[in-house]
Structure 1
């Protein structure tokens, strides 16, 4: 009876405060970690729609404010993945130094992403799609999900961003903050959108960097902007090579070389290899060198290396938030639409393999895209040349939120990769509520 009473009291605290098992006044019990930082976990319901059934833990890491603390800034650097273990890597924390000037920076790892399944997820589908490959992938994906049922435990079916947003509000309450100040990069912007949709009145100041649009349910429409951006980057690389004497294809028609390679049996491997690199200008020297080697008959530099086995639930979390084409015919239709829009390379550069990515996974606990309400206390920036989170995604989300969009040259994760102009605007916004001036651009 005492155990039951304690359980009921705990659940009541979760419902009333949105926090963990202790009160906000108590705060979490921090412990030393990663050479001068602090770590802890909070306990939250595994399913916020049925909070009495089970709980899960959400890991937190704190970087203390250096001077005249303004409050707490919750951060998710993206993925979806664990980021807290990366603070063991020398230099990783340096990306957050500017944010910690006036805020306690609290990084959180989303629920369930520490789960290790018994077997790795199946390899992503290569393009062009075939029915046999699609059917085999669907079966393998279903087997992966079934085999991971026990390991996933209470978090199974509860990985979507709407559940994570409620975890974020629990963190806010547990830290004793009246409003949530938030920095989300890449997939962290999906969590930011979910929080704004559910808890808009509790948003303090928010910055979303490299937004992945969670408002558009049509997979082809969602992926088209990234495909077009990647195709544009291929043309930009060709112009760079024409002007750069050190380019391995200098003096040759890069597009003609590409088209010639696309007529060879090695085309699928070359496309996959190039698609992973075309979004970063710094990759162009190696990319053009690989294409030059392939044109000379040596495809080894352009052959993708085997990836380490991935037995985590990141792909499953993505599939909880973003719809996948239903069946081979629909998946092939998405690929065909992207080929029409970006026929050389862009069709293959849609994040997480939109075509078939989620086939075979059980559609439970999903959090489909939906329009966003006005929450104007949000600054958004996307890189013009980023095919993974294209600028159109950021403009669309900022427009629905009624916040401010900061256009910027460059690629993915503008702030974390050191864009000084973006960083300046972000600091002025988060610390002083100072918007970028109308017409500002980085």
Structure 2
């Protein structure tokens, strides 16, 4: 059935992008600041009904330095799912090396930002992280609040309500290829952008020239247990890395101490009684300490070492006053959960937590609740669930994940690379977004060789930090 839908959708794509005279539409690029150009591609709201209502996909182009010698366009999605196009003028330096060969073209997924972005009338709920993971009653209350959020957003979503999954967005990606006048696609997917890449390899594999997937978010595993248990061990290993640094580095407030013993002592004390935080006028729970820890981000280690040392003295003010990270756009959880309609019932997640505590007893166990944070209570409509990749005709891809990245752990990238014909997994030391965010020089060199000349690194190649 899926193959029939795909054939129909492709036929509709070609019809939808062709004028009455039979000529393909020309993209109308316009200046959108700091040397970046923007355009829009019109696509069907529903690719299963390609002649129906239409929407648009927003693009931002960082032009190649030499238009006469460029190799063509490199289409990119930087993840989220969320909007990026509006930020491209500020991000363009990150992709300057690529403009030696390519027009770098970044797109927002349908419903986000420049792609007729949807604004929900009420914000998505935020759980009480001082008591997270919650008990059954609190979790059910959160799920109900999340359900109401999605219900209230329905009028704003309109015809996109159940059309935000990656099957639809992957067809949008192919529409971008056609609008650019390209027989084959050069694609760079980062983080959630790799979901579109995985699907593109299956749905349009014979249209791929080069595909680079960085920090793969695995959409090939229908088993939530193996999927959700891939990250906790990375988080646990990061806590051990932090402990080693904090016990030795002169910049650490815990230098000379047994850092893991300090962690255990602070958590045990907070479990007995929340630790006072006089500077914040409240107390801090063990759950809040666990949720505040970010051992995968080395730049935060000095601050966290100081906060943990202070908490060990009975004052958790620095933990209580830590700045929270930026929230994902409200629409992100609706798109994410349409692609990952896993069982996020309380019983399911509690069972996974118990399994994770065996492998990652100090901290990593918390990660299994992240999908519940996003998806609890959301209706399962318009879904495109994870499944093994079948991409017999796809060109060989280059895949990399950072060894310290718990959100998109190395296991995700290895699993996906093993299913893509001829793909090569590049092991890399570091965190999320190796090319764009980490700017790993070794990774960048390998990516350039691959995108320009098709040269894949030798099996087993590893890039240090």
| TM value normalised by structure 2 | 0.87
Aligned match for 1:199, one of 204, 228, 246: 204
Q: Measure the CA separation in 1 of the matches of 2:238 and 2:451.
A: 32
Contact 1:43 1:58 in 2 (8 A): yes
Judged with a 3 Å threshold, the aligned counterparts in structure 2 of structure 1 residues 13 and 186 are, in CA distance, closer, same or farther, namely closer
- Offset, 1:221: 1.3
Paired residue for 1:323?
341
* 2:101 aligned partner: 102
Given that 2:39 and 2:58 are in contact with CA atoms closer than 8 Å, whether structure 1 keeps it comes out as yes
Note the 1:41-440 alignment, pairs <5 A: 41-67=40-66, 68-89=69-90, 92-113=91-112, 114-124=117-127, 126=129, 127-263=132-268, 264=270, 265=274, 266-274=285-293, 277-303=294-320, 304-305=322-323, 312-350=330-368, 353-355=370-372, 357-374=374-391, 375-402=394-421, 403-416=423-436, 417-440=438-461
Contact map agreement 1:182 1:192 (CA 8 A) in 2: yes
1:36 aligns with 2:35: yes
Aligned residues, how many? 427
**Where in structure 2 are there 5+ consecutive unaligned residues?**
1-7, 275-284
1:21 is displaced (CA, Å) by 6.3
Partner of 1:8: none
For the 8 Å contact 1:74–1:106, the answer to whether it is kept is: yes
- Residues 221-254 of structure 1, C-alpha deviations (whole Å, 9 max, x = no match): 1121210001011111111122212211111111
Further displaced range: 58-67 or 319-328: 319-328
**Contact (CA 8 Å) 1:373, 1:400: kept in 2 or not?**
yes
C-alpha distance in 2, partners of 1:12/1:317? Answer: 20
| Helix, strand or coil at the partner of 2:41 | strand
Q: Are the counterparts in 1 of residues 426 and 457 from structure 2 also a CA contact under 8 Å? A: yes
Quickly say closer, same or farther: Cα 1:244–1:13, change in 2 above 3 A. closer
- Return the offset for 1:330: 1.5
CA distance in 2, matches of 1:62, 1:311: 23
- Distance, in Å, in 1 between the alignment partners of 2:224 and 2:332 is 19
Structure 1 residue 307 displacement after superposition: 6.4
Unpaired stretches in structure 1, ≥5 consecutive residues? 1-10
Calculate the aligned-residue CA RMSD, in Å: 2.1
Distance 1:174 1:156 in 2: 25
Distance 1:13 1:180, change over 3 A: closer
| Cross-structure match for 2:14 | 17
Runs of 4+ aligned structure 1 residues displaced above 3 Å come to 11-14, 18-26, 304-311
CA distance in 2, matches of 1:341, 1:307: 27
Q: Distance in 1 between matches of 2:23 and 2:220?
A: 33
Distance 1:16 1:325, change over 3 A: closer
The whole-number CA distance in structure 1 between the counterparts of 2:312 and 2:26 is: 61
Question: Matches of 2:205 and 2:153 in 1, distance apart?
Answer: 35
Residue deviations 1:14-70 (CA, integer Å, cap 9, x gap): 715176465774421111112221101111111111233321111000111113110
